[in-house]
Amino acid sequence: MPNLIDKFGREIKYLRVSVTDRCDLRCQYCMSEKMSFLPKQDLLSLAELSKIAHRFIDFGIEKIRISGGEPLVRKDIVELITELSSRLGQDFAELTLTTNGTQLAKYADALSSLGMKRINVSLDSLNPAIFSSLARRNALPRVLEGIEAAKTAGLHIKINTVLLPENLSEIPEMMRWAHAQSFDMSLIEIMPMGQTDVSRRKQFVPMTHAKDTLSQQFTLSPILRRDPLSGPARYSYVAETGGRIGFISPLTNNFCASCNRVRLTCTGRIYMCLGQEDHIDLRKTLRSGGCIDTGIAKAVNLKPEAHDFSIGDAPSLPRHMSVTGG
């Protein structure tokens, strides 16, 4: 099978799959309170998701991250993970997941026993009032219980925190908490994806603010060597905690030159870039009995050199992160 190489010479090794647009939280920066979800028939079935993912593995994909929406609210999620984990081996090296943690207490053991080694858990505050206000649901105790279950199941955890005006001052405390439990942590700059109820301009905090806040209390040493499958974060080692902190700054410091990923939405579209609208519709191809190999090749050829996000009051892209898979 030929590997997937785009027209700028980047080899595509990493697939992110959104398995549902639904979620049990309503994070202010991701969804509106009265979010309308897609009709069930628009979503890929388990068989369709599995067929596309298997084909990507045949084409040399080394890592798949399952995301959403909240992937663990999809009823057949364990069946999908069982399906894909059967391919884990030398070439397909990693199957992983990004979750909000609310269902982890139920699923952590299953994920671990199916060969998952690491997961990302999104957590924007350890303060119950701030968490509930940001997520519009009072779910912090359930998330912390889920994180504990994942730790006990032996999963390595990375905490992902979106940088917001509400949590900026809490970042040092959250990092101490994460590193004390040997969790990695990454901070993410907000991206202007989809309409929410709050102005993007008011939500946006540049990553330099977090770095300044952290540098006042900690000694950060940038880690220059990057793992090609580790994603867009630039990591620093923190002398005082012995842990690592990652910075993901799509707006102030883009990472396009080394981008080796494509995204499959829960509706079967392949997006080559989180920040562009070009896509190929594999659901249409599958449901009309067509060959998805041609669609995959076309998609890779469409991968743009760079994204062009900008922060204003309106979203710069109409689709929500939950459909595309963050």
Q: Which residues bind ligand SF4 (CB under 6 A)?
A: 23, 25-27, 30-31, 68-70, 100, 122, 322
Interaction between residue 183 and ligand SAM (CB under 6 A): no
Closest separation in Å from C-beta 184 to ligand SAM: 13
Residue number, 121 or 251, with CB nearest to ligand SF4: 121
Comparison of 161 and 285: residue with beta carbon closer to ligand SF4: 161
Q: Are 325 and 21 spatial neighbours (Cβ–Cβ below 8 Å)?
A: no
Interface characters, 191-230, with ligand SAM (x: CB under 6 A): x-x-------------------------------------
Nearer to ligand SAM, 157 or 300 (CB): 157
Contact 316, 192 (CB under 8 A): yes
Tokens of 183: 């969790």
Instruction: Verify binding: residue 322, ligand SAM, rule CB under 6 A.
Output: yes
Q: How many CB atoms lie within 10 A of CB 35?
A: 17
Applying CB under 6 A, which part among 185-193, 252-260, 270-278, 306-314 lies near ligand SAM? 185-193
Sheet of 279-281, strands arranged across: 220-222, 234-238, 244-248, 184-188, 156-162, 118-122, 94-99, 63-67, 14-18, 261-264, 269-271, 279-281
Q: How far apart are CA 150 and CA 180, in angstroms?
A: 16
Q: Which of 12, 30, 233, 262 is in the footprint of ligand SAM by CB under 6 A? A: 30
Interacting partner of 31 out of ligand SF4, ligand SAM, none (Cβ under 5 to 8 A depending on kind): ligand SF4
**Count of Cβ atoms closer than 10 Å to residue 124 Cβ:** 26
Residues in contact with ligand SAM, shown as a per-residue x/- string from 57 to 96 under the rule CB under 6 A: ----------xx-x--------------------------
- Minimum CB separation from ligand SF4 for residue 92, in Å? 25
Which residue in 214, 289, 234, 291 sits closest to 55, CA to CA?
Answer: 291
User: What residues pair up with 262 in beta bridges, in sequence order?
Assistant: 15
Query: What is the pattern of x (binds ligand SAM, CB under 6 A) and - over residues 127-166?
Result: ---------------------------------x-x----
Contact 213/169 with Cβ under 8 angstroms? yes
Residue with tokens 């994603």: 231
Tokens 């504990």, located at residue: 148
Rounded CA gap, 157 and 211, in Å? 22
Of 295, 259, 267, which Cα lies nearest the Cα of 280?
295
Does 185 help bind ligand SAM (rule: CB under 6 A)? no
Q: Hunting for tokens 């979106």 — which residue is that?
A: 162
Residue 191 binds: one of ligand SAM, ligand SF4, none (C-beta under 5 to 8 A by kind): ligand SAM
Applying CB under 6 A, among 4, 19, 105, 188 the residue interacting with ligand SAM is 188
Strand partners, 160: 122, 186
Interface residues with ligand SAM (CB under 6 A) are: 23, 29-30, 67-68, 70, 98-100, 122, 160, 162, 188, 190-191, 193, 321-322, 326
